[in-house]
Structure 1
Amino acid sequence: MSLMHGAGWMLNTFKVFYGFPDCLGPWFFNHLTSAEEFSFDPQESAPLGDAGQRHVFNISLRKANMPRLRKLSLGNIYLCLELKDFLLRHLDICKDLDGVEGMSWSELFCALADKSPTRLTCFSLHWDDDQEDLPDLDDDMGDPMLVAQVRRKLEIESDAMAFPFGYCDVFEKYGNATHDWDANRAAFVQGDDYRSYQDFMAIVESNATGNH
């Protein structure tokens, strides 16, 4: 269920919501010491994670400790320091990470790879946009130089991946997140996100096949 006002305002713009995310830790997340699976998705009406955007709030995972965690699934969480720290604290015990959408993807992937998790055998990312749509090469408002660079890169590296919503803007009035298309294109051309993703996935795949 997505809690969105009929006129378009997201839940994260309402004052009644402002203090609620901070309660999730003391009331719930901090007490999941026996949890083996944890799935959390605040939906697109109120994404969490303080990435320096408008209408953003902490995830309330800063003090959460789940020593028995084996499978983690997160959705509608902005890339942020709190998310990275939570993942790093649980990477050695987790076997399955499933994520859906201030920090770049490469920074997150590099931090995860540096941890060299030995038990993680599955990591997946899901989003609504098709891979070929993420650079939005038909965007008339986009930087034409960036669009041309993306086209050239795709000719050379047809399997290169783009990663959405690490680079986004939150609309001040309605609170909804939208792609920063030029930032997505620039990151795609630079290639750090995909390279760091490949490095991290090499570790995960090695764990899965037992070749580490």
Structure 2
Amino acid sequence: MIEAGDCNEGEAAEAFGARHDQLRLVEAVVFASANPVSVADIALRLPAGADVEGLLADLAALYAGRGVNLTKVAGGWAFRTAPDLGFLLRQDAVEPRRLSRAALETLAIIAYHQPVTRAEIEAIRGVATSKGTLDVLMEAGWIRMRGRRRAPGRPVTYGTTVGFLDHFGLESVGDLPGLEELKGAGLLDTVPPSAQGIPGPNDDEALSGDEDPLGDDPGDLLSGR
């Protein structure tokens, strides 16, 4: 911060102009991106040592009372319609494909238990899960194949995507509601077997100790075993 007496009027104007230009650049980078932008990506566009976090905080405050807000989502920053105006724009929104109850339950289980296999999903739901259900969620861009479990049959493991966080307005899977809230909303009726436990949501990109990378065989991307 520039304190009175630290520099002359010309130097103060120059320093203000530099920060103002940086603020405009951050605004442009976030506005032009189709996906949430991380602090690291923004920093690449700014001079070394730029206060990216401070610039984002200033920009968020600037947009706080406007029709669009600067919001932290999916581990990055993006402009989103102000929450109190969303209902006015629903008539212009593209109606998304409505998910079946099975797909909603499957998505919830993957979000909370990832990395999870199809067999584990079925054990939690208590019913068979069709490959079509998983295909719908992958086509929506909400889940992905992570790797293969080190177990007989080498089943594929599933996890959520950045697109899932972005669509549901989450900064991380840690912001998901509790399982009791999901059951209260009718999205999850069953209780995981005691052996399965109820893990904390974790969408770490790194493979866990019992996972191996997907193979180069194209069948890996088609079988979904």
TM-score by shorter chain over 0.5: no
TM-score per shorter chain, which class?
under 0.3
Q: Which has the higher helix share?
A: 2
Length-normalised TM-score, structure 2: 0.26
Length-normalised TM-score, structure 1: 0.28
Choose 1 or 2 for highest CA Rg: 2
